[in-house]
Structure formats: C-alpha cells, structure tokens
Amino acid sequence: GAQKAGTTYLFHQVAQHPNVATPLTKELHFFDDNYSRGLDWYLGHFPRADETSLLTLEASPGYLFHPHALHRLAKDLPGVRVVVLLRDPTKRAYSHFLHERRLGFEPIEDFSAALDLEEERIAPDFARLVSHPEEPGFAWRHFSYMARGEYLEQLRRCHEIFGKDRVLVLRSEEMFADPLAALAASIEFAGLP
C-alpha cells in the first residue's frame, strides 16, 4: 500500500491468522531497495517452504510507488496476490511530512513550502531511478509527499502487471472505520479459511 496508509496495522492483523507466517521483519523493501541482494536474500527472511504450509506475507509500502518494484515482484513471485491500501492523498502527504520532520530528514518547517519545492527536489532522483533502479535517492524517498499520493497511475500499473483479480484495493479510512470488514476481505482475498 501507500506509505502512511495503515500497512503496519493491516499486516499485524492478518499476521495473527493461524495459517500465516511472517518474515523476520515487516518491511523487507526487497523489490524496491534491496533487489540487488538477490532472491535468496529475500526468501531467507521467510520460513522454508518444506517446513511449513503456511501462507507468508510482507508489507513494504514503497512497492506501489517505485517504478520497478511491481515488475520485479511479478517476475520473481508470479502467483503473488497484492493488497493495496490507499489513504486520502492530502492526509497521507501531511502524515508523511510530519514523519520526515520527526525523523529529522525534513529541514523545512512549513508543509506548504515543502509541497512547493517537491517537484524541484525529487525530479533529479526520479530521473536517475528510471535508469539506475538501485539508487532511489534521498529526496525521492523522503520528500515525495504529493507524488506518492498520485494513485491513478500507480494502480493502473499494478492492475496491468497482476490483473485486477490478483489486486485488492482497500481505503484506509474504511479499514479504520470497520477493521473487521477489512480484515475479512484481506483473509478471503488471500484464500485463507
């Protein structure tokens, strides 16, 4: 899902299912940041297939936004099912901004000023990322407040790569208003009892 859209919450809810096994850490960021480490590195974070019949999951909120991650995911895990969480783009952007301020990465104190500078700040990183997928760049990662909330193209790409039948789109606002319905939809979509 989108960053700051509730992926951690949903991950922990689904992970409580008795037929689900989790990786060593929630956000492996393999298909966006760590792809050069190789598929064995990624798979090493999960229980061995011959040791369990459990379904595994992971949640890395950068996959939807990264221009190469979904293609990599489809190539390396051809049967994967994808759950996408989307949050109101304005609220998501502001939450992202506050997150970067808390971490000390965002030196600009005014949200509006940060938005005004976003395109200028992230454009060089994005241009480099297209031809050098392993170098997302600091600004692209930390200051892409509006760009990450431009969901239409991200969802189109996701549906083109996986097909609509293998993509479940949930709205964060609806998930938090009715968490059991979102959990039930996720469990059913994953084929879990």
Per the residue annotation, which of 4, 26, 75, 164 is the catalytic one? 4
Q: Check if the beta carbon of residue 5 is closer than 8 Å to that of residue 180.
A: no
SS3 category, 21: strand
Known catalytic membership, residue 75 = no
Give the CA radius of gyration of the chain. Answer: 17
Return the structure tokens found at 179: 């968490």
Could you identify the residue written with the tokens 């890395």? Answer: 60
What tokens were used for 136? 């997302």
Active site residue ranges? 4
